[in-house]
Structure 1
Amino acid sequence: MPPVLATVATVAAAIVVVSVLRREWQRVNRELDAVPVRVKDTHTLRRDPVTGEWRPHR
């Protein structure tokens, strides 16, 4: 196969893959945006004074 055809085929395949991935990213983001986030469920991290490790704290 001539090098030009191989390059064109590679570029075309890359364009198809990127377009499929882009649609999937958009679908996942739509699903994530539809889920309500409750502020009460979020935790802050605080350092444990004894061990020095960061732990979730309400």
Structure 2
Amino acid sequence: MPPVIVLALGAVGAAALVKLLAKESRRVNAELDATRRAEEANEPTGRVTLRRDPATGEYRPFDS
């Protein structure tokens, strides 16, 4: 009978450990997502302003 008790305690301990690890992974992922969203908000859009060149009539990138 004692091995059954040890196995039951081991199963309860393993379940608690899995629950703790899942909670921690959700917390870390939420923190990483928040950081990623903040970095994306600070990135430039990548759009270039174009101005028409009066001499050629072509549109060229304009550095502001």
Q: Distance in 2 between matches of 1:28 and 1:3?
A: 37
Point out the structure with max Rg over C-alpha.
2
For residue 21 of structure 1, report the CA deviation from its aligned partner. 0.7
- Give the aligned partner of residue 30 of structure 2: 30
Instruction: Give identity over the alignment, percent.
Output: 38
- Give the aligned partner of residue 9 of structure 2: 9
Q: TM-score, structure 2 length as denominator?
A: 0.54
Higher relative contact order (CA 8 A, sep 6+): 1
Q: Distance in 2 between matches of 1:33 and 1:15?
A: 27
SS in 2 for 1:23: helix
Deviations 1:1-58 (A, max 9, x none): 7110000000000000110010000000000011124477xxxxxxxxxxxxxxxxxx
In angstroms, what is the RMSD of aligned CA positions?
1.9
Q: What is the aligned length?
A: 40
